[in-house]
Amino acid sequence: MGANLAQLLAAGERSFSFEFFPPKTDEGDRNLLEKVIPALKATRPDYCSVTYGAGGSTRDKTLL
């Protein structure tokens, strides 16, 4: 397994990441799981983060 993010940053290495919002619809869920995530995985990001809406409006579909 590769270096963790803290190790990359401590070494002054570049990190590559994605940030996205959780889908609001079932179709969006399918698109994320079947198309978006495989495409993102192919780029080998160091990490991905999911941001939910103001006041937690899309929080129900995220893991805490």
Residue 19 designated active-site: yes
Both tokens assigned to 56? 């937690």
Structural contact between residues 16 and 45, judged by C-beta atoms closer than 8 angstroms: yes
Which of 13, 19, 27, 34 is an active site residue?
19
> Cα–Cα distance between 46 and 24 in angstroms, integer?
25
Both tokens assigned to 45? 């990001």
Q: Which residues are catalytic?
A: 19
